[in-house]
Structure formats: structure tokens, C-alpha cells
Amino acid sequence: MSTLKDTDDTDDAAGRLAAGRRRRTTRTGTVLSQELIVRTAIRLLEQPGDDALSVRRLGLALGADPSALYRYFRGTDDLVLAVADELIGMSLENARVTGDWRVDLRRSGMNLHRTYTAHPQVAVLAAARVTRRPNEMRGIEAGLDVLRGAGFGPDDAARYYHRFIDFTLGFAAIDAAAHALPAEAGAGDRAAWQATYARLPAEEYPRIAESAQALAQTMSVSAYPGALEVFLDGVQAALDRQAR
């Protein structure tokens, strides 16, 4: 991914960023804003090509001079963090709290995983980032609240939130990377379980041979839903130990 050229003058960059919070009109009459830039960046990231998020392409897509982006973002990393936070915001759109910690944590995880795999190129870029922005703050607050409601104290809630979010984002990053593969490569990987592994000699690979059909079925879909239930079982076991 090409980068926005970062400035060495931090004070000047901060000044441009503050000024950029006033909405400006592009050459095409579009009102430029941080929100529009982020949405456009996501759209470009989902298009093929190494230059998907270059300053030039982003400026062309927005109908704005590329230098105008510095009025809203200090550079590439600032924009990437905003994009990552937008992805988190998408996952929170259908958030509902039932009061049942297992239901609520499952829904939160599935929503996050679904959002990331629906935007694989963005997810690969964003999964490991800490955005320091409002949507991430909302998500952390909601996750901790669910775990506190389940019966964990503040410290254990933090630890289990960490495990839950890394577990979910780890699966999301793996599945997003698979979705982001070129079509031919992805099809080849999926076909390998029948074309290669199911044909291995049983005398040399007896365990693979006896599980070949099950492997072909399970390896073609995400393991996250089933793994999430195992994780939730572990959380329940921790709560049971705590109660005893």
C-alpha cells in the first residue's frame, strides 16, 4: 500500500488537521470530511491493486487535490487508524444487550468477525491496530460491561476481554486473509482437501485418511463459530470456579 507522505513538522501537521475539521468542498462539489475520506479509503482498499490507497487515487476518487487530505489526517497511519475504527463501528451497528453474558458475548464476537471478513482487505490492515477512537472505546466499554455483569471483577474482566478480543480478531484476520486471496489461489486451497489430502495413502497417513471427508468439510468454512463456543465454555468454567 502506498503511503501518505508524512511531514516532519508535527506542529504544522496538527494545525492543518485542526483546520481540516471544517468541511470543505471538492472540485466536483462534494463536501469533503473525515467520514467521506474514510469511507472512500475503505472502498479503494477493497479494489485489487497494490496502489489501492495511494494519495493520488484517493484524491482522484474524492475529486480533491491529494494535499487536501492533510487537512484531515496527519498521514497514512492516522488514516489507517480511522479506517480501523470505522470497521469496529460497523460491527457495533446491530449491537443489543440481553443481559445474558454468553448471548451478548457471542453476538459481539460474531458481529465483529462477520464485519472483518466482509471487508477482508481492510481487516488485514486493521486487525492488529489500537485505534484510540470512539468506536473502539464503545466496544471495549461494552465488552467489559458484559463480563462485569457475568460476575468477573474489574481485573479479571480486563483479562478475559483481552483474551476474547484477540481470539476473535485472530480468527477474523486469518479468515479475512483467506477471503482476500486471488480467486484462483483461494479455490486451489479449498480444493486441496479433496484433491490432495483425501488421496494420501492410508498406510503412510492413517489419521488423515480416516478423517479425510471430515477435513474436507470443516476446512472449507471458518472454525470461528465452533471455536467461540469452546472459548465461552472456558469463560463459564472460570465463573464456576470463582463461585466455588
pLDDT value of position 52: 62
Question: Rounded distance, CA 161 to CA 145, Å?
Answer: 10
State how far the Cα of 238 lies from the Cα of 115, in Å rounded to an integer: 29
Q: What is the pLDDT of residue 74?
A: 87
- C-alpha 201: how far from its chain's center? 40
Which domains occur in the chain, in start order?
10-74 (no CATH), 98-243 (1.10.357.10)
Mean pLDDT in consecutive groups of 10 residues from the start of the chain, 244 residues: 39 44 57 92 81 77 88 89 95 91 97 95 90 97 97 98 97 92 92 95 97 95 97 97 90
pLDDT, residue 23, reads 56
Which H or E run includes 61? helix 55-62
Q: What is the pLDDT of residue 66?
A: 87
Nearest partner of 56 among 108, 125, 112, 1, judged by Cα: 1
Q: How far apart are CA 45 and CA 54, in angstroms?
A: 10
The 3-state DSSP class for residue 112 equals helix
- Predicted TM-score (pTM) of the model is 0.82
Q: What is the pLDDT at residue 49?
A: 62
| Tally of CA atoms within 13 A in the half-sphere of 100 that contains its CB | 6
